């Protein structure tokens, strides 16, 4: 796409490759904010995950998903525009800044999003979104960005206007004070690691990213093998969603999230998926920014894995369960726990 620079060596957009660091500890962080973690993750699976959760608990969750993601996005952007940057936003106008943000989202796999109308006096914004990486998460992103830039709470609605195409309206609207005041999860401590990913000599991103198809017109990143989409986004937004679901719907939610992810991950397993080599699993987790696999012990009845610096522990547990079931062709049970030092232990056993 015109104006969007890509690395001349690997073809990865510089806004995705050069703007992030793949660390030896299994994490991805923003270069300008090394404390802010990111993921390179299966975005097709996000809406499937939410749908599976709704099926399991029998309750619609879209409103909670949008509200929670908006809260996380608002908090993040407010931290980014403190001081002189905040004055620049007020001078230039939120619509132009948000337009720049959604344009950059093409490089991150968020889809083709364009502002079609903005009215500062009436406090509303219309957008057209094609190929959203996740419809409810994108709604939360748009709502949260506007809340951060305009300094007032808002709401968002959408309407399907074509295949994978939506018109969105973001507008000012009061919200429950307790939702806005809830704190985001505290960052977990990180342990050093020794993962080595061969980097591109141009942008520094892992060379393996070059095998993905980066379509800047459509705003998509596609895995050429599985033909599913990926996106670059922060894990905090999903963690806030899971915390809010548990707060609203009860303590059975974590187990439901694990099962929902197991159901989805089973659709990703194929003949190319093999757990014969721990090094391959470790590298793939690190490329996604999901953590550092430091131990994997198994026998005929199951396996136990330990991951340092884990992101999205519930999704890791569900994926681990699906991986063993696909190999063993057997139903399983799974247990997971987070230690005080942040390590995630997952045990999968034949049922």
Q: Do 105 and 114 touch, CB atoms closer than 8 A?
A: no
Nearest to 344 by CA among 191, 185, 183, 148: 191
Tell me the HSE value of 252 on the side-chain side, using a 13 A CA sphere.
8
User: What percent of the chain stands above pLDDT 90?
Assistant: 66
Question: Average pLDDT, whole number, for the chain?
Answer: 89
The predicted model scores a pTM of 0.92
Task: Give the span between the Cα atoms of 278 and 173, in whole angstroms.
Answer: 50
Cβ–Cβ under 8 Å, residues 273 and 326: yes
Integer Cα distance of 304 and 347 in angstroms: 4
Structure tokens at 292: 């550092």
Answer whether residue 272 shows pLDDT above 50: no
Residue 259 tokens, joined:
């099962």
What does the block give as tokens for 281? Answer: 């699993």
**Rounded (10°) angle between helices 236-249 and 44-57:** 10
Q: Which of 19-23, 70-74, 224-228, 321-325 has the highest mean pLDDT?
A: 19-23
Cα separation, 194 vs 72, in Å, equals: 31
**How confident is the model at residue 98, as a pLDDT?**
73
Residue 89, pLDDT score: 60
Domains of the chain: 251-350 (3.30.1380.20)
Confidence check: pLDDT of 275 > 60 = no
Q: Which residue has the higher pLDDT, 325 or 120?
A: 325
Q: For residue 21, give the H/E element and its range.
A: strand 20-22
Average pLDDT in the 164-192 region? 77
Q: Cβ distance 202 to 10 under 8 Å?
A: yes
| DSSP code for 218 | T
Express each pLDDT in 133-161 by its tens digit: 999 999 999 999 888 887 788 899 999 99
- Whole-angstrom distance, CA of residue 328 vs CA of residue 333: 13
Distance from C-alpha of 267 to C-alpha of 175, rounded to nearest angstrom: 38
């Amino acid at each position: 796409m015109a104006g969007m620079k890509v690395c001349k060596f690997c073809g990865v957009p510089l806004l995705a490759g050069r703007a992030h660091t793949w660390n030896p500890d299994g994490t991805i962080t923003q270069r300008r904010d090394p404390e802010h973690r990111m993921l390179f993750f299966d975005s097709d699976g996000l809406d499937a995950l939410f749908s599976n959760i709704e099926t399991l608990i029998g309750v619609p969750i879209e409103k909670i998903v949008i509200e929670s993601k908006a809260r996380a996005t608002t908090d993040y952007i407010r931290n980014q525009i403190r001081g002189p940057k905040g004055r620049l936003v007020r001078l230039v106008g939120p619509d132009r800044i948000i337009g720049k943000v959604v344009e950059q989202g093409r490089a991150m796999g968020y889809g083709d999003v364009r502002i079609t109308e903005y009215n500062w006096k009436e406090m509303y914004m219309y957008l057209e979104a094609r190929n959203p990486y996740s419809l409810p998460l994108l709604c939360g992103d748009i709502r949260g960005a506007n809340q951060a830039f305009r300094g007032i709470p808002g709401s968002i609605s959408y309407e399907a206007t074509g295949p994978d195409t939506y018109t969105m309206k973001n507008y000012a609207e009061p919200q429950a004070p307790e939702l806005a005041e809830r704190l985001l999860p505290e960052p977990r401590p990180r342990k050093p690691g020794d993962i080595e990913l061969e980097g591109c000599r141009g942008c520094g991103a892992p060379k393996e990213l070059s095998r993905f198809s980066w379509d800047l017109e459509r705003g998509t990143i596609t895995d050429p093998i599985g033909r599913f989409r990926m996106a670059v986004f922060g894990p905090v937004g999903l963690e806030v969603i899971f915390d809010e679901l548990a707060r609203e719907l009860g303590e059975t939610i974590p187990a439901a999230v694990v099962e929902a992810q197991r159901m989805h991950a089973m659709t990703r397993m194929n003949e190319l998926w093999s757990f014969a080599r721990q090094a391959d699993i470790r590298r793939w987790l690190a490329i996604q920014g999901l953590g550092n696999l430091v131990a994997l012990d198994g026998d005929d009845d199951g396996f136990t894995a330990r991951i340092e610096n884990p992101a999205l522990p519930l999704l890791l547990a569900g994926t681990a369960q699906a991986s063993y079931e696909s190999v063993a062709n057997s139903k399983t049970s799974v247990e997971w726990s987070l230690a005080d030092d942040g390590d995630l232990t997952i045990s999968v056993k034949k049922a």
